[in-house]
């Protein structure tokens, strides 16, 4: 049986560590993006976003195999099988090396051809675009090698290391931004930026390799191949790859559509929106990161009741965290962007607002998807989800082609996300054995009530007060107060409320 009390404490500790990392990264990353936009200018910023985004499409296999490695390592940790841990790690590393070679070949053929012949690059910036692409590919390839080491860190729930490394990476990126913004260089600034970004990434990746090689016995590479293990790992990764491929079309594919239909300036708006969305989402992603290993271990230990309680609470509180941050941001997007950026590209305000709604709809099902991953039976699920995600790209292309405004890409994403939520719940229902009435009562009705009760008063203030810093402060403060009370006294159960209050009192030193 799972030690629930110990796991709850570990989850709270890991989540706190990741929140510290997230808060620091959020503040620093937003300032870094502002400096980079200032240093590069709108067109070069858009080129980097489009070209480096295209290069990241080659990350598809890495993400799939990384997810598979993390799942199998976590599952074996739940079973307590140390020998199997070493086998899974070595096998995944060997596979990653093979795919790294394949990506190098594809990027130097199909990749370069696409950048040169299909992407819209301003005249005179073609060479810079190719160099940015090549440097981004180096980062992608190195990511293949480090991926199994990162998976081991997550499986062992060493979130302290994860937080420290993330903070160091953010500081390095800030140093690069300051270096480029306030210096004068004869070199092409876009190329210099891409090169420094690559070097900082390689340095951070080396830390994960060294640490895991020293502290985790299974992370010592060796030649190993087992056909059965390979088929299990590769089968799981293969279906994840299908999901990743469709996800890339949903994200980077839409970036290509923007580039083709509107050009680099709107790519810059999309890139800035992604920065904001990622900065906000990382709070929830870190919570999910801390929660996922426990869901997998609970399933491995066949403690379904505990797994369900983790999923219900995880789904609710991930949504609450996102909404708590999103509400003031959605209302005061224009003012927030004016504080952050010296120049705000057209469409950025609308993009940021709609992107936050997309993130909230995604959280209706994301935690539940971890249950299906824990089972290992993901083929049917990934096929259906991939079709829906690919539909995002297809519908976006269709509506842009017939003349809809660019904001339609986010409305399409919201609709697709809602369909994915319905599919996910249908598929995980036999494993979790819940009723939809139970699901409504424990998850979705509390979430809806929190949204309604939190939004009314801040929205009225937003509509009645004049634009400016006074409205920004008042709306922000009221949003925080309304959201906090709604989450604590409407969205949380009595037991959850008691636990949160006791933890807050403990951290503030008010315990008896």
Question: Tokens 């199909």 map to which residue?
Answer: 110
Reference 276, options 234, 320, 334; nearest CA is: 334
The residue-averaged pLDDT of 58-85 equals 70
How confident is the model over 87-92, as a mean pLDDT? 80
Which range is most confident: 134-138, 214-218, 359-363?
A: 359-363
Residues found in the chain:
512
List % helix, strand, coil for the chain (3-state, nearest 5). Answer: 85, 0, 15
pLDDT tens digits for range 260-305: 888 777 888 888 888 888 878 877 776 777 778 788 878 887 888 8
Cβ pair 317, 399 in contact under 8 A: no
What is residue 239's three-state secondary structure? helix
Which CA distances in Å does 191 have to 121, 141, 198, 495?
15, 19, 11, 54
Burial letters 442-479, b for 16+ CB under 10 A, else e: bbbebbeebbebbbeebbebbeeeeeeeebbeebbebb
pLDDT at 298: 82
pLDDT tens track for 13-25: 666 666 666 667 7
Highest mean pLDDT: which range of 53-57, 285-289, 417-421, 500-504: 417-421
Query: So what's the pLDDT on residue 12?
Result: 59
Pick 249 or 138 by higher pLDDT.
138
Which region among 86-95, 342-351, 428-437 has the lowest average model confidence (pLDDT)?
Answer: 86-95
Domain boundaries, the chain: 4-434
Mean pLDDT of 300-312: 86
Q: What is the pLDDT of residue 350?
A: 93
Q: What is the pLDDT of residues 29-53, one digit of tens each?
A: 777 877 888 888 877 887 877 777 7
pLDDT at 156: 75
Percent of the chain with pLDDT over 90: 23
pTM metric for this prediction: 0.70
For residue 37, what pLDDT is reported?
81
* 427 pLDDT higher than 50: yes
- The answer on pLDDT for 58 being more than 60 is yes
Structure tokens at 3: 């030690």
Cβ distance 237 to 65 under 8 Å? yes
Instruction: Give the model's pLDDT for residue 509.
Output: 56
According to the model, what pLDDT value does residue 56 have?
67
Backbone angles phi, psi at 446, to 5 degrees: -60, -40
**What is the model's pLDDT at position 425?**
94
Between CA 111 and CA 36 the distance in angstroms is 25
At 63 the pLDDT is 63
For the chain, the maximum distance between any two Cα atoms, rounded to a whole number of angstroms, is 70
* Per-residue pLDDT, 1: 47
Determine contact, residues 274/353, Cβ cutoff 8 Å.
no
Place of tokens 């480090």: 146
How many other CB atoms are there within 10 angstroms of residue 398's CB atom? 12
Distance CA 234, CA 1 (A): 30
Half-sphere exposure of 115 (CA within 13 A, CB side): 28
Confidence grade of residue 11 (pLDDT, cut at 50, 70, 90):
low
Question: String of b and e for 141-154 (b: at least 16 CB within 10 Å)?
Answer: bbbbebbbbbbbbb
Q: What is the SS3 assignment for 335?
A: helix
DSSP 8-state code for residue 224: -
Range ranked top by mean pLDDT from 73-82, 174-183, 232-241: 174-183
At 387, list the tokens: 């079709």
Token representation of residue 318: 């991930």
CB atoms within 10 A of CB 182: 10
Residue that is written with structure tokens 């402060």 in the block: 473
The Cα–Cα gap between 378 and 2 comes to: 24
Whole-number pLDDT of residue 421: 94
Res 510 pLDDT > 70: no
Tell me the range of 139-148, 161-170, 220-229 where mean pLDDT is highest: 139-148
Give yes or no for residue 73 having a pLDDT over 80. no
Tell me how far apart the alpha carbons of residues 50 and 173 are, in angstroms, rounded to a whole number.
Answer: 19
* Of 215-224, 230-239, 366-375, highest mean pLDDT: 366-375
The DSSP annotation for 70-129 comes to HHHHHHHHHHT-HHHHHHHHHHHHHHHHHHHHHHHHHIIIIIHHHHHHTS---TT-HHHH
Residue 189 has pLDDT above 50, yes or no: yes
Bigger pLDDT: 505 vs 144: 144
**What is the average pLDDT across 6-11?**
61
pLDDT class for 354, splitting at 50, 70, 90? very high
Residue 512, pLDDT above cutoff 50 = no
What pLDDT score was predicted for residue 326?
A: 93
Quote the mean pLDDT of the chain.
82
Is residue 155 within 8 A of residue 77, CB to CB? The reply is yes
Q: Could you tell me the pLDDT band of residue 220, with boundaries at 50, 70 and 90?
A: confident
Work out the pLDDT band at 422, boundaries 50, 70, 90: very high
What is the mean predicted confidence (pLDDT) over 102-114?
85
Q: How many CB atoms lie within 10 A of CB 191?
A: 18
Pick the closest to residue 496 from 20, 8, 19, 157 (CA basis): 8
Distance of alpha carbon 235 from alpha carbon 232, whole angstroms: 5
pLDDT tens digits along 109-118: 888 888 888 7
How confident is the model over 225-271, as pLDDT tens digits? 777 777 777 777 677 777 777 776 677 788 888 888 887 778 888 88
Q: Given the structure tokens 């935690």, which residue do they identify?
A: 367
Say how far apart CA 436 and CA 425 lie, in whole Å.
9
**Percent of the chain clearing pLDDT 70 (strictly above):** 87
Radius of gyration from C-alpha coordinates of the chain: 23
């Amino acid at each position: 049986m799972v030690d629930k009390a110990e796991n709850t404490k570990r989850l709270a500790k890991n989540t706190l560590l990741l929140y510290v990392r997230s808060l620091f990264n959020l503040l620093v990353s937003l300032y870094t993006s502002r400096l980079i936009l200032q240093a590069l200018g709108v067109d070069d910023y858009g080129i980097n976003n489009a070209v480096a985004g295209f290069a990241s499409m080659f990350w598809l296999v890495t993400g799939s195999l990384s997810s598979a490695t993390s799942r199998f390592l976590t599952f074996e940790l739940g079973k307590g099988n140390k020998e199997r841990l070493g086998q899974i790690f070595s096998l995944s590393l060997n596979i990653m090396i093979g795919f790294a070679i394949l990506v190098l070949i594809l990027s130097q053929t199909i990749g370069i051809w696409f950048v040169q012949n299909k992407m819209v690059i301003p005249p005179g910036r073609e060479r810079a675009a190719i160099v940015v692409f090549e440097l981004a590919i180096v980062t992608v390839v190195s990511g293949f090698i480090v991926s199994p080491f990162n998976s081991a860190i997550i499986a062992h729930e060493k979130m302290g290391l994860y937080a420290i490394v993330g903070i160091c990476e953010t500081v390095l990126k800030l140093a690069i931004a300051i270096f480029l913004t306030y210096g004068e260089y004869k070199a092409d600034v876009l190329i210099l930026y891409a090169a420094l970004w690559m070097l900082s990434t390689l340095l951070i990746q080396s830390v994960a390799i060294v640490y895991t090689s020293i502290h985790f016995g299974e992370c010592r590479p060796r030649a190993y191949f087992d056909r059965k293990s390979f088929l299990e790992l590769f089968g799981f990764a293969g279906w994840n790859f299908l999901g990743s491929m469709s996800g890339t079309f949903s994200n980077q594919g839409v970036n290509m559509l923007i580039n083709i239909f509107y050009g680099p300036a709107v790519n810059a708006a999309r890139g800035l929106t992604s920065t904001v969305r990622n900065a906000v989402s990382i709070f929830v992603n870190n919570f999910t990161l801390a929660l996922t290993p426990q869901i997998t271990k609970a399933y491995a230990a066949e403690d379904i009741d505990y797994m369900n309680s983790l999923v219900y609470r995880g789904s609710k509180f991930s949504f609450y965290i996102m909404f708590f941050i999103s509400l003031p941001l959605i209302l005061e997007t224009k003012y927030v962007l004016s504080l952050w950026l010296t120049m705000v590209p057209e469409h950025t305000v609308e993009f940021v607002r709609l992107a936050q709604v997309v993130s909230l709809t995604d959280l209706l099902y994301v935690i539940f998807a971890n249950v299906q991953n824990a089972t290992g039976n993901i083929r049917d699920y990934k096929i259906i989800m991939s079709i829906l995600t690919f539909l995002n790209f297809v519908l976006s292309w269709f509506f842009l082609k017939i003349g809809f405004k660019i904001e339609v890409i986010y409305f399409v994403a919201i609709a697709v996300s809602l369909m994915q939520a319905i599919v996910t719940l249908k598929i995980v229902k036999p494993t979790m054995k819940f009723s939809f009435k139970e699901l409504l009562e424990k998850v979705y009705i509390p979430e809806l009530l929190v949204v309604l009760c939190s939004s009314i008063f801040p929205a009225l203030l937003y509509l009645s007060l004049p634009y400016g810093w006074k409205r920004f402060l008042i709306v922000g403060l009221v949003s925080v107060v309304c959201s906090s009370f709604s989450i604590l006294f409407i969205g949380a159960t009595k037991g959850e409320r008691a636990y949160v209050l006791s933890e807050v009192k403990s951290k503030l030193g008010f315990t008896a």
